[in-house]
Amino acid sequence: MPLYRTSTEADTIALGERLAAELPPGVVLLIGNLGAGKTTLAKGIAHGLGAALPDDVSSPTFTLIHDYGHGKVYHVDLYRLEEAREVEGLGLDDLIDSGALVLIEWGERFPQLFPPPRTEIHLRALPDDTREIELRRLG
């Protein structure tokens, strides 16, 4: 599986722009602790797909779902949800079935809701303030 390192926010956005071309439509779980760079990578992916400028992409922590590019990219944040039934009530199946790229932060908390095939991008903040980013395809 590809492993990348970034050292700045701009590097992480640029990596997202490059990865955008490789990501198939469907579910992409963005996995990492708070501050790992999930939203920053999402900025680059959305920009790489021509759906939004990086400055227009923000964390959907309180709105839960942001739509970029009129259904081209959906950015979902499940951090505040505690039970699978809450997630099921969001209508994510419709988003996934739409042919869009669906970026999901904190989706690993509900693995039963996102069976393969899916892509996982694991992000880790390292002690030297760099980011380690690993792409995994399941299924």
Residue 124 · residue 49 · CB < 8 Å: no
In a domain, 117, yes or no: no
DSSP 79-139: TT--SHHHHHTTTHHHHHHTT-EEEEETGGG-GGGSPSSEEEEEEEE-TTS-EEEEEEEE-
In a domain, 1, yes or no: no
Question: 49-78 b/e with 16+ CB inside 10 Å = b?
Answer: bebbebeebeebeeebbbebeeebbbbbbb
In a domain, 40, yes or no: yes
- Digit-by-digit pLDDT tens for the chain (139 residues) are 789 999 999 999 999 999 999 999 999 999 999 999 999 999 999 999 999 999 999 999 889 999 999 999 999 999 999 999 999 999 999 999 999 999 999 999 998 999 899 999 999 999 999 999 999 999 8
Helix (H, G, I), strand (E, B) or coil at 32: coil
In a domain, 118, yes or no: no
Please give the residue range of the domain that contains residue 59: 25-111
In a domain, 92, yes or no: yes
